[in-house]
Amino acid sequence: MKLFSALLILLFSVATYSEVVVIVHPSNNNSFAKDEIEALFMVKKSSFADGAKASAYYLSADDPVRHQFDEKILGKSSSQLKAYWSKLVFTGKGTPPPELGNSAEAIAKVAGDTSAIAYVDKAAVKDNVKVVFTLP
Amino acid sequence: MKKQIWSTSACVVMLGLTQAADAADIQFRGFGSFVGGSTLSSDETLYGYEDTLNFRNDSLMALQMDAKLDAKLKATMQIIGRGEDGYEPVVEWAYMTYDFSDNFQVSAGRIRIPFYRYSDFIDVGYAYNWLGVPQTVYGFDFPGYDGLSGVYSSQFGSWDSSFQVIFGQFEGQTGDLDATMEDLKGFSWTLTRDWLTLRAGYVSSKATIDIPNIEQLIGAIEPIAAGTDVDFAALSSALQVDRDPGDFFGLAVGIDRNNILIDAEYIEYALDDSLIAETSAYYLAAGYRFGKWIPLLTYSRSKSDPPEDVVNTLPAAAPGEPMGVSILRQYIAGAVAATETEIKLMDVALRYDFHHSAAFKLAWTQEENMSGDKNQLLRFGVDLVF
């Protein structure tokens, strides 16, 4: 029983404490402050600081990384974020960023698209993308 | 041979699909609510609910199609099936949108009239915390108008601003009444800064509404007026809503800070030269977000002031006037006085986000009228978006 709880705690910690990073294409030379990242992921901005087109990507709602990013960077629970986008989508005033299945998919997307910006589990990052921000 | 035909048609179908995918990027999304409720005793009725469990009144399912023709041009259609209408699908939104820039978009077609803060997404229960919006304020309900809407979004320092202008016409039903609105125009302005939202809205039009009670009154006074020199046509027009200028004005404040939620909205509307009472209403709601749970308390009040000036259509009371005129004046004064209403509403709601795209809600609502009669309603339901 003790072992079981220890295992649970371990599993839980792994899920909770995966480090989350924001990634862009290696050719993207902009610098990113938290406010800038928030604006891009809330689609209040659709271009990077240098004026190039920016396309943000979310992870699917089931991904634990998504949950951390929503809370820490966007300041909303996943439900609040869903409600926020529902207001815009069903009134024609905005569309949420497309969702990608998991960190590996997001990394593949960003590696092949100079306009892409996404957040992923740091452990999944390879050198085909550039890390521009690490979540506190 | 059969197989060959099959593969040919499969090819045609596949080609067709590929072409369609090239032409437009089409997305389907939707939302739904399943709500059950009943009043608390047999002599109470509220919003169409009685003391037997009803699952139809507030239940609905909606599907929205967004077709993106290119980065700037989009077509949108939203179909809603409402439980109270046997889920018969009705196209409630149908419009095309062109983005002139990142900040400015124009839509043309059938669009919701932006009377209230929650008007645009009033059917998307998931987007707010009540089970249903307070009817004392949201009772003035018209579905979509046909025309144009322009939205200009900008940023002033740390404020996000969204300014919408509308222009068009309405022809359809408000509640069960046939209505038209000509020269419909208005604006809504929403300012958001971090945890604070401010909104102001104004809509005006020339309205016509067929109201059976007013027609009955006119039918009843016609024979009386016939025996006098009262201008009956002018009198009927002063009672009816017949191309009369109407104004709607609303203000709202929303606060969402440190899990404390506060919402307030004030509205007023008037329809000149008619027996429609000038109405003002407000609500004040306060809630707290305990993780996935949100309890929300709402107090609301609406007040309708009788349109006294209708009586002035008749000549001033004078000694020795024909009896018909005095009777007319009594009739009209009675009808005017009857339009006075005052309703107090209390609502206690609980939201539980049991899924990332669905919420369970429970709500107790009580309305109290001028004579102190109370009607209480208990409702529960699930809202979802997909």
| DSSP output for A4-69 | HHHHHHHHHHHHH---EEEEE-TT------HHHHHHHHTTS--B-TTS-B-EEEEEPTT-HHHHHH
* Residue A6 falls inside a structural domain: no
Contacts of A92 in chain B (CB under 8 A): 74, 76, 93, 95, 97, 107, 111
The 3-state DSSP class for residue A89 equals: helix
Q: Point out the residue among A44, A46, A90 whose CB comes nearest to the CB of B78.
A: A90
In a domain, B7, yes or no: no
CA pair distance B207, B230, nearest whole angstrom: 25
Domain with A97 in it: 20-134
Domain count, chain A: 1
What is the rounded distance in angstroms from the CA atom of residue B307 to the CA atom of residue B317? Answer: 18
> Phi/psi at B204 (nearest 5 deg)?
-135, 155
pLDDT in tens, A76-130: 888 899 999 999 999 988 889 999 999 999 999 999 999 999 999 999 998 899 9
- Using an 8 Å CB-CB cutoff, list chain B residues near A78: 356
Tally the domains of chain B. 1
Dihedrals phi, psi of A135, to nearest 5 degrees: -65, 140
What residues contact B309, with CB distance under 8 A and at least 6 apart? none
pLDDT at residue number B309: 86
Q: How many interface pairs between A and B have CB atoms less than 8 angstroms apart?
A: 58
Instruction: With respect to residue A83, please indicate whether it lies within any of the assigned structural domains.
Output: yes
Give B368's contacts (C-beta < 8 A, 6+ positions apart): B343, B344, B345, B374, B375
Residue A62: closest CA among chain B residues belongs to which residue? Answer: B356
Give domain status of residue A99, yes or no. Answer: yes
Q: Which of A61, A90, A95 sits opposite B31 (nearest CB)?
A: A90
Q: Which of A46, A62, A86 sits opposite B31 (nearest CB)?
A: A86
pLDDT single digits (tens) B259-314: 999 999 999 999 999 999 999 999 999 999 999 999 999 999 999 999 988 888 88
ipTM of the complex: 0.83
In a domain, residue A125? The reply is yes
Mind listing the pLDDT tens digit for each residue in A2-38? Answer: 555 555 554 444 455 689 999 999 999 998 999 899 9
Residue B305 falls within a domain, yes or no? yes
Judging contacts by C-beta atoms under 8 Å, the chain B residues touching residue A87 are 120-121, 124, 127
Q: Is residue B196 one of the residues assigned to a domain?
A: yes
A53 vs B51: CA distance, rounded Å: 58
pLDDT confidence of residue B229: 83
CATH number at residue B350: 2.40.160.10
User: Chain A residue with minimal CA distance to B160?
Assistant: A44
Number of C-beta neighbours around residue B36 at 10 A: 17
Structural domain including B304 reads: 34-385
Question: Is B6 within the bounds of a domain?
Answer: no
Of A46, A83, A92, the CB nearest to B97: A92
Instruction: For residue A31, give the CATH number of its domain.
Output: 3.40.190.10
Nearest chain B Cα distance for residue A127, angstroms: 31
Residues in chain B: 386
Note the pLDDT of residue B8.
45
Q: Minimal CA–CA distance to B127: which of B298, B217, B254?
A: B254
Residue B6's SS3 state is: helix
* Identity at A33, one-letter amino acid code: A
The low-confidence residues of chain B, meaning pLDDT below 70, are 1-23
* pLDDT of res. B22: 55
pLDDT, tens digit (0-9, with 9 covering 90-100), for B200-241? 999 999 999 999 999 999 998 888 888 788 888 888 999 999
- CA distances B384 to A77, B47, B182, B225, B295, Å, are 16, 22, 36, 56, 18
Q: Which of A93, A43, A41 is nearest to A66 (CA)?
A: A41
* Mean per-residue pLDDT of chain B: 91
* Cα–Cα distance, B220 to B200 (Å, whole number): 42
Inter-chain touch A93–B162, beta carbons under 8 Å:
yes
H/E element holding B83?
A: none
**Per-residue model confidence (pLDDT) at position A14:** 47
Tell me what pLDDT residue B1 has.
Answer: 38
Task: Give me the residue from A62, A79, A92 closest to B107, CB to CB.
Answer: A92
- Within 8 A of A38 by CB-CB distance, chain B residues are none
Residue B2 belongs to some domain of the structure: no
Confirm whether B1 is domain-assigned.
no
Q: Is residue B125 part of a domain?
A: yes
CB distance B124–A92 less than 8 Å? no
